[in-house]
Amino acid sequence: MDLRLFQFDYDMSFAVTFLHPDRTVYGRFGTRNGNEEAADDEISMAGLAAAMSGALELHAGYPGNKASLVGKQPVPSVKYPTPEKIPTMGKYKSVLDYDGKIAGSCIHCHSIRDKQRRIVRDAGEILGLRELSPWPMPLVLGIQMDAQARATVANVVLNSPAASAGLKAGDQILKANGQPILSTADLQWTLHAMDDNAKLVLDLTRSSEPITLTVTPQNQWRESSDIAWRVSTWDLRRIALGGMRLERIPTEARTGNIPKAGKMALRALNVGQYGDHATAKKAGLKKEDVIVEFNGDSGDLTESELIKRIVSTLKKGEKVSVDYLRSGERRETSFQLQ
Amino acid sequence: MIAFHHYSHLTTIVHTLVLGTLAATLSMGEEEKKTRDQMVLEDRSALADNDHWIYNDLDKAFAEAEQSGRPLMVVHRCIP
């Protein structure tokens, strides 16, 4: 797979790219956030058909619309042209081994992200927030998209940046920062590439009337995007949390010694048992322990926010302290980051 | 990877694929679950000689698209 051409959310298990024969990208399709029960709210055949229809419209207008497509094109400066060229990828080749272990010879798309992160960490560097928050969902601005339609808003979260900008359910997004939008994935691409301090200018139709709105993201919007559902976050848990999977305890469920709202309360849903994922286990941590302070930070973070904070500020080999509750008793341990 | 560039039939084809997958899942019932290798091989034989999809041959897809002037839809996916 040519990574200079096919740049999509590598945590997806179904990703579509629409292209002109000259390799100009018209758009992308394929979004989910790991909530299997609500998968129909994220992706649908109707949504795909609508995106295809939009791609045909762009094709009919090409090359007159080429300038508007510039922002949708792949980033040319990729370090490795194909997944198998990534040094940490190991044994994998560019083709499946149909005469041997077929599935075992397949490079999982999320590995493209995992393996490149590993190179950065092994070099003793930190990872940037853009790398740690790939393809943010529009929900990070308060926009819930309609999976059944073409780039259409289903709901707007109260008091969100989108609500402040005046966005409403039923609005169809035609362009974002000048780029034609065919799907939720297209909107994610725009957010993925956007500078942290930039605004999102949306050209819409509302009841057949054209409208332009400007959404001003809240501070640290990229940091707040949820990555807990991503397959590639499994390896980040090894790096940052010693192999633990954590879940923020809801405010209303905090009883006994568990800190109240505004303070850290992350329950260990799972603690890795093997290899590099067993670092927290070796430090004495167990499933159901409640993390209340991590390396001096006791803010009321989600697992996603904690992982990003650790990996974007601390390097491999640095020792972190962990304060936790077990059966109500406060304990302390430490381990080295990977 | 599947590349498709005959847009006029696409919706029908994709719907057919999804319904086929659902039907296969429902009919398996108590039968032995297939291995991923089996599913990949069955998927390849179902699509490799398909009139509407080009399977694992992007160069061919671009060549046909350039000749016909039609756009491409390239799908990367996990099986199942």
> How far is it, in rounded angstroms, from Cα B24 to Cα B17?
11
pLDDT at B21 over 70: no
Q: Which are the contacts of A311, defined by CB distance < 8 A and separation ≥ 6? A: A121, A126, A127, A132, A236, A239, A240
Chain A residue numbers with beta carbons less than 8 Å from the beta carbon of B44 are: 98
Least confident of A20-29, A290-299, B16-25, B55-64: B16-25
Predicted ipTM of the assembly: 0.90
Name the residue among B40, B70, B71 with its Cβ closest to that of A103: B40
| Correct CATH for A232-336 of 3.40.50.12280, 2.30.42.10, 1.10.10.10, 3.40.50.970 | 2.30.42.10
Question: What mean pLDDT do residues A16-30 have?
Answer: 97
Rounded mean pLDDT, B51-58: 90
Q: Does residue A315 register a pLDDT over 70?
A: yes
How far does A275 lie from chain B, in Å, by closest CA? 26
Please give the pLDDT value at position B2.
52
Q: Which residues contact B29 (CB under 8 A, 6 or more apart)?
A: none
pLDDT value for B24: 37
Q: A90: pLDDT confidence band, cut at 50, 70 and 90?
A: confident
Nearest-Cα residue of chain B relative to residue A19: B72
Write the pLDDT tens digit of every residue in A173-232.
999 999 999 999 999 999 999 999 999 999 999 999 999 999 999 998 998 889 999 999
Would you kindly state where each structural domain of chain A is located, as residue ranges? 16-132, 138-222, 232-336
Task: Report the alpha-carbon distance of residue A145 to residue A163 in Å, rounded.
Answer: 14
User: Residue A55 is nearest to which of B65, B71, B78, comparing CB atoms?
Assistant: B71
A with B: how many residue pairs have Cβ under 8 Å apart?
A: 77
Say whether pLDDT at A8 is over 70: yes
Asked if A305 and A282 touch (Cβ cutoff 8 Å), the reply is no
B41:A55 CB<8 A? no
A99-113 pLDDT, tens digit per residue, is 999 988 999 899 999
Q: Which residue does chain B place closest to A2, by CA atoms?
A: B58
Token reading at B23: 């039907």
Q: Which residues of B touch A83 (CB under 8 A)?
A: none
The answer to which of A103-107, A208-212, B9-13, B25-29 has the lowest mean pLDDT is B9-13
A266-278 mean pLDDT: 97
Instruction: Quote the DSSP letter at residue A285.
Output: -
Interface contact B73-A20, CB threshold 8 A: no
- Chosen for mutation from A16, A72, A107, A111 (greatest number of chain B CBs closer than 10 Å) is A16
pLDDT of res. A224:
87
- Quote the distance between the C-alpha of residue B46 and its chain's center: 7
Q: Do A20 and B71 touch (CB under 8 A)?
A: yes
- Which is higher by pLDDT, A28 or B45? A28
Mean pLDDT of A23-27: 98
Per-residue pLDDT tens for A234-259? Answer: 999 999 999 999 999 999 999 999 99
In whole numbers, what is the pLDDT of chain A averaged over residues? 95
The confidence score (pLDDT) of residue A151 equals 96
Task: Choose among B7, B15, B71: nearest Cβ to A19.
Answer: B71
User: What's the pLDDT at B28?
Assistant: 44
> What is the Cα A90 distance to its own chain's centre?
25
Enumerate the β-bridge partners of residue B9: none
pLDDT of residue A296: 96
CB count within 10 Å of CB B41 equals: 15
Average pLDDT over residues B31-41: 82
A107-143 pLDDT, tens digit per residue, is 989 999 999 999 999 999 999 998 999 999 999 999 9
Distance from C-alpha of A148 to C-alpha of A154, rounded to nearest angstrom: 9
Residues of B whose CB is below 8 A from A12: 76
Q: Which fold has domain A138-222?
A: Pdz3 Domain (2.30.42)
Reported in sequence order, the residue ranges of chain A that DSSP labels E, i.e. its strands, are 14-19, 25-29, 143-146, 152-156, 172-176, 179-180, 200-206, 209-215, 244-248, 266-271, 290-294, 319-326, 329-336
The answer, yes or no, to whether residue B10 has pLDDT greater than 50, is no
Q: Do B41 and A21 touch (CB under 8 A)?
A: no
Q: Give pLDDT, residue B1.
A: 46
CB A18 within 8 A of CB A182: yes
Token code pair at residue A236: 């980040």
Check residue B19 and give its pLDDT.
Answer: 32
Chain A positions in Cβ-Cβ contact with residue B36 (cut-off 8 Å): 102-103
Task: Report how far residue A90's alpha carbon sits from residue A112's, in angstroms, rounded to the nearest whole number.
Answer: 12
Q: Which residue in the set A13, A17, A55 is minimally distant from B78, CB to CB?
A: A13
Residues of chain A positioned with their CB less than 8 A from the CB of B77:
13-15
For residue B53, the chain A residues in CB contact (below 8 A) are none
For residues A327 and A289, give the distance between their C-alpha atoms in angstroms, rounded to a whole number.
8
Residues 9-68 of B with CB under 8 A from A: 10-11, 14-15, 18, 35-37, 40-41, 44, 58, 62, 65-66
> What confidence score (pLDDT) does residue A120 get?
94
pLDDT at B34: 87
Residue A104 CA to residue A163 CA, distance in Å, equals: 46
Instruction: Give the start-end residues of each E strand in A277-328.
Output: 290-294, 319-326
Q: Is B70 on the interface with A (CB under 8 A)?
A: yes
pLDDT of residue B27: 44
d(C-alpha A326, C-alpha A324), whole Å: 7
Of B36, B69, B77, the CB nearest to A21: B69
